[in-house]
Structure 1
Amino acid sequence: MTLLDTRPPDPAPPETGRAAKTSRPRSWRSLLQPRYLTLAVAAIAVAYLALVPVGTMIYASLQTSFLGTGASAWTLHNYATTFASDGFGTLVLNSFLYAGLTAIVCTVIGFGLAWLVSRTNTPCKTFAQLAALVPLIVPGILNTVAWALLLSPERGPLNGVLRSLGLPAFNIYSIAGMVFVQSIHVAPVAFLMGTAAFSSMDSSLEEAALASGASPVRTFRVITLRMARPAILSAALLMFIQTISTFEVPQLIGVPGHTYVFVSRIYSALQAFPADYGTVGVIGVFVLVIASIGLALSQRLSRRSATQTITGKGFRSTVQDLGRWRWAGLAVFILFFVIAVVLPLAMLIWSSLLPGYEPPSLKALGDLGFGNYAQIFRQPALIESVRNSVVTAVSSAVIVTALSAVVAYLTVKTKMFGRGLLDGLATVPIAVPSIVMGVGILYWYLAAPLPVHLYGTLVILVVAFVTISLPYAMRYLVPGMSQIKDELEEAATASGASWLQTFRRVFIPLLMPSLLAAFLYTMIVAFREISAAIFLYSSGSEVVSVSIYDLYSNGSYPVVAALGVVMVVFLTILVAGVRLLGRRFGIQGANQS
């Protein structure tokens, strides 16, 4: 049946095999089967993770005395006082300016690099892809610390170079500095989105334009950019959402420069005594509304992008010959790699080898040593934060991987009632900025009359990391689950295997690359995440990212650098190890065995 066929569809055949077994249960007794118990637990967990923090934050914004000693009542007073307060307009302007400019800059960089890799004959594409993606390994707080040292107004080595050339120094503690640092950090995400968009485009229109005498520049502007416009706008909106909720750049660069945005205002309100929970809730709801609108627009543009750029007949994606300019394309990747990776890591390594921070010079070579690395192991608090990060990262990764696998099975392989709603709930955290999620989780576990007190424990951090990572893990598992044919499960069922045996011996081996990708992503998020963790830790439950922030705030730059180098090395080994495992498992590994 074609898309234009108006005939009614043929009657559906009776359900047999797996389809019949995964449809709606026919009796209450069947609900006690392991299959339905597992799926029900997964559904409840997803709903709890997605809705409870958001609902608690909204509730707090509408209370006169949330977590106070007196009686509390419903009110809109928090909204009225927050919106009418002095400086709120400037706060909104700074936040939108910072996030908007960052979205534009990082999208231009990311899609420009993606176009060079996907649609041109730029040489050394393996290096080009690594150059664009390696910055993802460097945690945002380390990237921010490194650039704050590199462009320090007084002692930054790059500003020293600018002065020696007769140029004015760059003020890192400004909106421009915030935009620069954040853009370098999130450009790899825009690159991934751009690569997906350009790789799915049919190049026949571009070839026709070139054959008609149009110049390559005009073809790129009129044809390529027009086809990629929905994807570009969608990526820009997602970068806007991600930027407006990040903690490290606004706090480490914006606050010293007296440039305040939503995140820094939320943090200062919670650090005040007594904490201003109402204002925090109002700003959190405001950011949530903005992010939800942006996500809705982004998803709509993504659907338009898929409709306009993918054809079903004669599809091909060819590369454009840049001639001698192809070496300029390679130079662009080398420049980006130097700015995004080499300079920050070189600054961290240099600072980690000095007893006190000094700009790079020949005189300082005699002071180099490994004392800061030894100091890491002499400070029990730092060792404890590393242990906490490992525990929370591994725990979060295991939970997210298992939960996303079950939810992906439910949404893809079953006909159970409400599976579409469950898929939507699993996506909700994308629209909730990390800082809003952290505040919502904090509010819930402070106010809820739960039998177990979780605030101040590692469990609450695991809850936050699981909630933040789940939607992205689903992106790995759903496509992988869709590729597994139903016949495999039907054959296992016909052979007498239970559902748990089938899931363990059929789905898990075939999903291993997707499972490892989800596991790796969650591990990296748990080590990098600070926007939510900064509100949820207490004495004894610090993680590495929080320890780095505390050390930097106290002026211990060399120890921060040493800890950062160790963290980057560990994440690099982790990524390499998981990629190596991914090559040994999965469909190919199953076939070989």
Structure 2
Amino acid sequence: MWGAVVVLVIGPLVPLLYASFRSKPYYLPGGVLTVQGYRTLFADPAFWRAVQNTLLFAVGTTVLAVAAGSAFAILCGRTNMPGRKAYSTLLLAPIVIPPLGLIVGWVSIYGQSGYLTGLVGRNLHLPVWNLSSLPGMALLGAAVTIPIAFLTCQAALAGTDSSLEDAARSAGASPVQVIRSITLPLLRPALLDCTVLIFALSLEVLGIPLFLGPPAHIDFYASYLYSAWSGSITPDPSYVSAGAVLLLLVVSVLLLLRSRLLGAEQRFVAAGARGGGAYQPLDLRGWRRPLSLLVGAFIAVTSAIPLLGLVMMSGVTALTTLVPPWHLLTGHSWHQVLTDVAFRRSITNSLLIALLGSAISVGFVAVATLVAHRSRFPLRRTISPLLVYPRAVPGIISGIGFFWSYLMVSPPGAQVRNNLWGELIALSVRNITLAYVVIYPSLARINDEFDRAARAGGAGWWTIARRILLPILRPSLLAAFLLMFITLLNDYDPVVFLQKPGTEVIGVTMLQYWQQGVVGPVAALAVVQVLIVAVVLAIGARAIRRVRHA
């Protein structure tokens, strides 16, 4: 298991590094080791513009997401705001909504030709926003990443003792003073954690610049690499691999920084006899309903209305304020999705990858987690960081790494290079972190007395795992399967360089058709993706309840 984890996680990065130092692609003769790829990259003005745009986008996204996410966490977790329990669930919508579907929904409503943009500008003659600008893209990026800051701060608040806040209120402090003087300082580790994480995630964004950047000629780091790879005269240029290595280095440094910051968390913990359970919410008084309406409006603007726009775009010939939508109803987009071979095949392939990949990944991660935390294997402590690392690797870099791995290492490269198995491996490896973060906390709560008692009865390690630990972990395994299924269905970054005719997946198909100007069928395909996610969530939630009550 340790060898398999090392090969799957670290293995693809070695050929990537090697390819970045070759003068020609690996499959062409005559290549030599050189740093010309890095020189070409640094000499390209478009690269530095992409770097600048990415940094500005990442800073804007991080500031907006952390500020809004922490504010929502405090409102839902520390105040008497009406509807806070429902909002705690609804604020997570961008996590489960397919990312490209959400982007298409935003474009249909708030884009340059969007419905509300036309309504405000053309009909009401008011100044309009520009979604195809760095501030507009940062706003969309923040809407997607706010759930990360919200969950991080919410978890920190749930585990923090409230005695200091209660004492401050007893001394006459107002809710604003309590939040400013006590709650926010206690949240400092969580704020630093989500700041570094969101900033790192913003550096690898691909869908937003590809959908919104062309009108303003704005490229980000990931879209620059994608365009350079797919549009270069020289196949698979080495400077793209060089750019991927540099981005991997930056993200790895940010991950180490995040670990160092989390190491100082105990300095900000307020622990008491009551824990975080007994707490009297802060009274917002006359601000209760206005703030509740504000949070509800935010959810509507960022998630509900774009989803409605996505559905409308899939069912009309054109979404415009000049003609009522019901006068433009058509089934052409849906007919194309249901009859076009590429669209149908992308749906089938994505479902197969999600089903098989989630089952294989959960089984693999479950055994690897048992080795890491319930065995005496000498190298067990290295497994946990290795399982966490893949999600920190940008998806586009992971895809380039697997591309070169399948070319340079054969077997098994030749057997998986041009089929769904290669895409399944790349997607699954990148997302095994999600299965681990679901399974490990449940395993940590199982008393190791079970292991000792079984060993005293003569049971071996695998017998203990198979007969005791894995049955107890069934609810977590099912939850991990559900999360992996949805993620594998929605993810697309790692396979943009691996997809071949016949191996299409939903995300890459949407990217390719959108770039060709095909809008309606892309929206219909995104609606299909949203419906699949909704059905799987409903079935999975019901199954998890049954397993827990069994």
Residue 429 of structure 1 corresponds to which residue in structure 2? 390
Structure 2 counterpart of 1:553, which letter? Q
1:460 and 2:422 aligned: yes
Note if contact 2:25-2:236 (Cα within 8 Å) is conserved in structure 1: no
How big is the shift at 1:238? 0.5
Indicate how the Cα distance of structure 1 residues 117 and 78 shifts in structure 2: closer, same or farther if over 3 A, else same. same
Equivalent residue for 1:273, pick from 233, 250, 272:
233
How big is the shift at 1:276? 4.5
- 1:166-315 aligned at under 5 Å gives the runs 166-271=125-230, 272-311=232-271, 313-315=273-275
Take 2:23 and 2:270, find their aligned partners in 1: how far apart are those partners? Answer: 53
Equivalent residue for 2:536, pick from 560, 565, 574:
574
Structure 2 counterpart of 1:432, which letter? V
- 1:50-61 aligned at under 5 Å gives the runs 50-61=9-20
1:410 and 2:371 aligned: yes
Equivalent residue for 2:23, pick from 37, 54, 64:
64
- 1:328-477 aligned at under 5 Å gives the runs 328-354=290-316, 356-359=317-320, 363-450=324-411, 452-477=414-439
Given the two structures, how large is their TM-score scaled by the length of structure 1?
0.87
Indicate how the Cα distance of structure 1 residues 351 and 85 shifts in structure 2: closer, same or farther if over 3 A, else same. closer
Equivalent residue for 2:485, pick from 523, 526, 546:
523
Note if contact 1:177-1:253 (Cα within 8 Å) is conserved in structure 2: no
Note if contact 1:150-1:347 (Cα within 8 Å) is conserved in structure 2: yes
> What is the CA deviation profile of residues 546-587 of structure 1, one whole-angstrom value per residue up to 9, with x for unaligned ones?
12222222222221222211211110111121111111114x
1:124 and 2:86 aligned: no
* SS of residue in 2 equivalent to 1:72: coil
How big is the shift at 1:253? 1.0
Root-mean-square deviation (Å): 2.1
Structure 2 counterpart of 1:381, which letter? A
Take 2:504 and 2:331, find their aligned partners in 1: how far apart are those partners? Answer: 24
Take 1:337 and 1:104, find their aligned partners in 2: how far apart are those partners? Answer: 19
Note if contact 2:353-2:488 (Cα within 8 Å) is conserved in structure 1: yes
Q: Which moved more, 1:116-125 or 1:502-511?
A: 502-511
How big is the shift at 1:221? 1.8
Percent identity between matched residues is 29
Indicate how the Cα distance of structure 1 residues 301 and 159 shifts in structure 2: closer, same or farther if over 3 A, else same. farther
Note if contact 1:465-1:522 (Cα within 8 Å) is conserved in structure 2: no
Structure 1: segments with no counterpart, 5+ residues = 1-41
Note if contact 1:247-1:530 (Cα within 8 Å) is conserved in structure 2: no
Given the two structures, how large is their TM-score scaled by the length of structure 2?
0.94
- 1:488-507 aligned at under 5 Å gives the runs 488-492=450-454, 499-507=461-469
Larger radius of gyration: 1
Q: Which moved more, 1:254-263 or 1:80-89?
A: 80-89
Indicate how the Cα distance of structure 1 residues 185 and 365 shifts in structure 2: closer, same or farther if over 3 A, else same. same
Take 2:335 and 2:123, find their aligned partners in 1: how far apart are those partners? Answer: 36
Note if contact 1:246-1:531 (Cα within 8 Å) is conserved in structure 2: no
- 1:45-194 aligned at under 5 Å gives the runs 45-67=4-26, 69-154=28-113, 156-194=115-153
Q: Which moved more, 1:371-380 or 1:304-313?
A: 304-313
Take 1:155 and 1:412, find their aligned partners in 2: how far apart are those partners? Answer: 51
Take 2:137 and 2:539, find their aligned partners in 1: how far apart are those partners? Answer: 34
Note if contact 1:357-1:557 (Cα within 8 Å) is conserved in structure 2: no
Structure 1 counterpart of 2:262, which letter? S
